[in-house]
Structure 1
Amino acid sequence: MSFGDPNNPYGQQQGGQPGYGYPQGQQPQGQPGYGYPQAPPVQPYAGGFAGGPTEMPGGVKAARVMLFVIAGFQVIGSVLFFLTGAAISKAQDNPALKDDIQFKDLADFPTGGVYALGVAVLLWGVLAIFLGAKFSSGGNGIRVTAMVFGIITAVLGIYPFVIVGLAHTVLAILVAVFVGKSDGGAWFNRARH
């Protein structure tokens, strides 16, 4: 029976040989086997160095821009709410429209509610601007708030404003995803000096 070349390190070893150059039972412990280099110790992700990333990752930059775009949409929406409230108020005073059946439902809606919705939309835009501005210096609380903001904005963009809110929904989902990724976590949890 042939075992091949006894000097071939990749071939089948003949029976009884524990290792090259060491008697049986005396092979040193803790050293890697022949031909296998030892890997460096595994370090937790910190952007390649101990302090964390020094430049904002691309996904976080994109989320920041998307927050500013959402804020712009919110300002436009609040202006439309204020204009609608003013138009309803003016139309309620018109005696010719008081007998119109189609206008009756609109006239019953309180203008104060329309103005309150306009203020709420404007404040939501201010929150988006605040979050976007805090991305460069904020910590994990800003990250979590931006993720919650994105999720709530996406839900509100789907339900009451299906067509108009489509852009809000897409942008808000992207904000939540980009901020929630691991490089976003590394950015918001970095060491600050």
Structure 2
Amino acid sequence: MAIADDLKKTLTDPTPLYFAAGTADLAVQQAKKVPGIIEQLRAEAPARIEAVKNADTKAVQEKAKVAQEAVTAKFNEVLGAIDPKKLGETAQDLALRGVGVAAEYAVRAKETYDKVAEHGEQAVRSWRGEVADEIVDIAGAVEPEASEPQAATDAEPAAEPAEASAGAEEKPAGRKTTARRGTSGPGKKAAAASGGES
């Protein structure tokens, strides 16, 4: 049963989907930056090409030779400092450090995964919100046509014959509101707001 429970939990967990949505949203955000980077490179390219053309080849070769000598000297220094007796201990120490570093990277990867999934969840909520706003706008455009017959039926019970109301005490006319199942929009909010004022 534990395997079935784990499988059910894995299949119902929305985190991977949120991670995918977050990755897509971040990719779109980064893609929006590309035209600016291209323009910047296009603007800087002539100056860089001119600098390469005007560079003294002998000076560049001299700098490369100095850098190569420095690297060779440092490499020889490191090789000279290695003690063959301590090499085994150093290898074991490096292996333990490697395990620690791998564990640290695993923790960082999990944190990054969670952050991207959280970003994806927020992106999905904003996408759903945008869709909901569009639905509310459409419902607002359609609802006034649908609410006209409803207004006529609400007005009928309020009109009473004069004989029936003559003997009864006068009561303030209450507003009758009816809620439709499955609809929400500006009409329902306006009715609720006007009903709360009385």
TM-score (norm 1): 0.27
Q: Kindly indicate whether structure 1 or structure 2 has the higher relative contact order, using CA contacts under 8 Å at least 6 residues apart.
A: 2
Q: More helix by proportion, 1 or 2?
A: 2
| Larger Rg, first or second structure (1 or 2) | 2
